[in-house]
Amino acid sequence: MNFNIEEYLDSLPEDVEQIFVNFKGLTYLPDLTRFKNLDYLICNNNKLTSLPALPDKLRCLVCYNNHLSSLPTLPEYLEVLDCHNNRLTSLPDLPEFLNHLYCVKNRLTRLPVLPKRLRDLYCHYNYLTILPNLPDKLRYLSFEGNPIYQISSNIDNTNINYIFIIRHKIKILNNFCHLYYSLKFKNRFRKWLWENIRKTKIEQKYHPRYLIENLADENADLDTILNNW
């Protein structure tokens, strides 16, 4: 018997705090914003390709084993996000209260800025070539199966200083990348700055037509105009 998601949601009170619709063969989810007190949304192991807008108070989103290629804006107070084994190529901005992120086996090439409260980061088996700076509160990190993992191939992850060492290496790498791209695009930026800003302002201020326009006034003082010009 097919599961009717519309009928199921209509049967729930609007103050419901948890919705479990995992393993239902769903291809879509209807609007959920009417559930103002929703804390937990569990919709893993379906066939979802997208999610609707999420309620503002949601604290836990579990949507792994679907066909998601993107996620909606994440609620401000979200603490747990488990979106592993989807088709995500990027993640939206992560809320500051997030402390657990599980985004394994997607198609991510980079991660957004990590919240300061993040404690657990599982991002292995993606296409990450770089990691953001790691928060000081991070206690568990798993990122094997990514190109970036090679920088730690000589580190024993059972070492108590593992996170500290990785954090230090990531910070050095990010600083290096920033410097590299700054130097790479320095001349291009300088050319753009000249053509679009400085040259335009200079031409506007010092072009001969400026003098002609001002001298059109018969009462204009020539010495004053020349000094200003």
Predicted pLDDT of residue 159: 46
> 116 lies in a domain?
no
Using the CB atoms, write b or e for 193-204: b if 16+ within 10 Å. eeeeeeeeeeee
Q: pLDDT 10s per residue in the chain (229 long)?
A: 588 999 999 999 999 999 999 999 999 999 999 999 999 999 999 999 999 999 999 999 999 999 999 999 999 999 999 999 999 999 999 999 999 999 999 999 999 999 999 999 999 999 998 888 889 899 998 888 998 876 554 545 544 456 666 766 666 666 656 555 555 555 665 666 666 666 666 666 666 666 666 666 666 665 666 566 5
> 222 lies in a domain?
yes
| Domain count within the chain | 1
**How many other CB atoms sit within 10 Å of the CB of residue 4?**
11
Look up the domain containing 219 and give its range.
186-228
> 13 lies in a domain?
no
> 140 lies in a domain?
no
> 67 lies in a domain?
no
Alpha-carbon span 90 to 69, nearest angstrom: 8
> 197 lies in a domain?
yes
How would you classify the pairing of strands 18-20 and 40-42?
parallel
Predicted pLDDT of residue 160: 43
> 217 lies in a domain?
yes
> 30 lies in a domain?
no
Predicted pLDDT of residue 148: 83
